Amino acid sequence: MRRALISAACAVATMAALAVPASAEPKPAQAKGEVSEYVVLYKERVPLGWAHRAVREAGGKIVHENRDVGVATVRSDNPEFIHAVMKERALEGVAHNRVIGEAPKTKKKKAAKVERMTGAKSTVSLKGAPSKNEEPLADLQWDMKQIHATANGSYKKEPGDKRVLVGVLDTGVDGNHPDIKPNFNRKLSRNFTHDIPTDANGNEVDGPCEFTSCVDPVDWDDNDHGTHVASTIASPRNGLGMAGVAPNVSIVNLRVGQDSGYFFLQPTVDGLTYAAKNGIDVVNMSYYVDPWLWNCGDNPADSPEDQLEQRTIIKATQRALDFAHDRGVTLISAAGNDFVDYTKTNTDDSSPDFPSTPGEAPHDRTVPASCVSMPSEGEHVIPISATGPSTRKSYYSSFGNGYVAVAAPGGDKVDTADQRPDDKAGIWAAYPERLAKARGELNADGTPNVPYIIRSCKGDDCAYYQSIQGTSMASPHAVGVAALIVSKYGHRDRQGGLTLSPDYVERVLRSTATAKECPSPRTFEYVWYTSTGKHTSTQTCEGTKEQNGFFGNGIVDALNAVGHR
C-alpha cells in the first residue's frame, strides 16, 4: 500500500504536496517576509465569498481551490497565519504545507520492503501452451483462480462492460502498455500532481522533471505501482500476457500520487471529487494520505499544529469521500501492510513521514483505535485485506474485526513450503518497459535478468509483467469484482454509461464472498526466512466464520458476484 513523491524544483506547483512537522517541539518561527504554503479547509456551507475574505484577512492568497469540498492551497508570508486562520469563523482547519522554493533534505522514497520482496533465484516456469481461451501467462495467476476470475469462471458470465469506468487513484498508469492500452480511457484521465525534482540543497526527491511543466502526461507512470493496479483490474483478453479481473471495463488514470510514492491531501481530494463529477463507477485507493499513517486529533505526543493538521486531513478527506459516494462512486481501499490490528492500540514511529522544515523526523506515538488512517478508515470506504496462494491472510496484511470488509489475493511470497520468498506467490501484473530498461532489469536482447519480471510476446509485440505483493495488490482484485457487479446489474445513466448504488455494490461484494474462518489457534505465528535470517509475527484473529478480523465477510468471488441472482 502507498507512497508516491514530492519535489521542490517545481516550487510553484498549484497541486502542492501536504507536508508536516516531525516532532512535538515548536516549529522554527517563519521569518518575516518568508512565504509558506498551507492547505486550508473552509467551514461547511459557508459562502465562498466569506471563506475567500477570511483567507485574505488571515494574510493568505489562494493558489488552488477545490470548491466542491472547500479545500484550498494557500500561500502566506504571515508568520502567524495558522493562528490567524483559526480565529476566522468561516474557516475550519489548516495544515502547514512547505516553504516556497525549499524542500527538506529528503531522500527519494524507496518502494515498501513488503511489496518488493523477491525470491533469491528465478523460480518462474510455465507448464507449456495455455489452455483454450486462456491468456499466455494465465498459469501464473493463482490469484485469479482463487476468486474464479478465469476463462471458465466469471469471464464466461460477465467479462465487464466498456461503459463501466474504474478510476485508479495512484502514481499514474502506463496507458501505452500493450496489456492496458485497449481499455485505457485517455480522454477522462487526469494528473492532479506536480513533480518536485530536488530540494534547495540539490538532493533528489522525485528526480528530474521529464517534462518542462513538471506535470507528467496522463498515460505516464514513473513509479510502476499504478500500472500494476490497473492491470490487475482490467488487462484485456487479447492473446498477450494476462487478463485482469474485469477484462472489458475501462481504466481511468486519476494520478494523485507522487513519483516517489507519497500521497498528499490536496491531490487526493481533487481526484475523488473529479471522479464523482465525471461518472466514475468504482475507484481504487491503494494508499494512505501522507504524512500521518494514523491521524489523531488530540495525541499528546504531537504539537498543537500537528494535531490541527491531522484533524484537517480527516475532515477534508471525509468530505471528498462523502461527495464521491453520494454521486455513485464505490470506494475501495487497501487495508495496509502494517502487520497490525487497526481496532487496537498501536505504536506509530513512522509519522510524519515528510517534514515541512529541514531536520524534522518522525517521532514515536501511541495511537489508540480512535485514531484513523485515511482513506481506509473513512466512512463509505471498503477496506481490503490480503491473502496468499494457500488462502491464508498474508503475513504483512493489516486486519481488524469490524475494520476489514472482505479479503482478496494480494500475494504472500513466503506462503511457501520452505517459508522462503518465491516470486510465484506474488501478484503478477503489467510493468512499464521504460522502467525495466531504466532500472537495468533487461538484457540487451530484451529478456529480463531478474526473477520478478517476465516477458510475453505476440508476434513483434512484447510486454513485461512483474511480481509484487501487498494490500495494494489485494484492493484492485476487489475493485475488479465491483466493476463486474456494476457491469452485470447497473442501469444506464444520463451520459449513456452504467451506474449502480455504491451501497448495493458493497452488499453484493460482501454477500457473495467465500466465508473463511479464523485460523486455529486464533493467535497465529507467521514464520519466514530471508537472507537476513528468521522472521516472525504473531497476530490474533477475532470474530466468526461469517465475519472476522482477517477476512471480513470472506474472500471476494467474481463468479459468485455475477451469478448471485
Task: Assess whether pLDDT exceeds 70 at residue 81.
Answer: yes
The answer to whether 501 and 364 are in contact (CB under 8 A) is no
Residue 340, beta-bridge partner list? none
Which residues fall within 8 angstroms of residue 175, CB to CB, at 6 or more apart? 181, 184, 186, 189, 218, 219, 220, 253
Active-site residue, from 68, 143, 161, 170: 170
pLDDT, tens digit, for every residue of 374-399?
999 999 999 999 999 999 999 999 99
Question: Is 83 an active-site residue?
Answer: no
Q: How many CB atoms lie within 10 A of CB 66?
A: 21
Question: Is 219 an active-site residue?
Answer: no
**Does the domain made of 36-99 have the CATH classification 3.30.70.80?**
yes
Question: Is 259 an active-site residue?
Answer: no
The answer to whether 263 and 288 are in contact (CB under 8 A) is yes
Task: Assess whether pLDDT exceeds 50 at residue 553.
Answer: yes
Q: Give residue 495's pLDDT band: very low, low, confident or very high (50, 70, 90).
A: confident
Active-site residue, from 250, 385, 467, 472: 472
The yes-or-no answer to whether 36-99 and 138-291+317-343+372-516+546-563 have a common fold is no
In terms of CATH architecture, what is 138-291+317-343+372-516+546-563? 3-Layer(aba) Sandwich (3.40)
Cα separations (Å) of 62 from 12, 73, 122?
Answer: 13, 6, 53
pLDDT, tens digit, for every residue of 4-45?
322 223 332 333 333 333 334 444 455 566 888 899 999 999
pTM: predicted TM-score of the whole model, two decimal places? 0.92
Domain boundaries, given as residue ranges, for the chain: 36-99, 138-291+317-343+372-516+546-563
pLDDT, tens digit, for every residue of 439-460?
999 999 999 999 999 999 999 9
**pLDDT value for 113:** 72
Q: How many CB atoms lie within 10 A of CB 531?
A: 7
Active-site residue, from 225, 325, 363, 477: 225
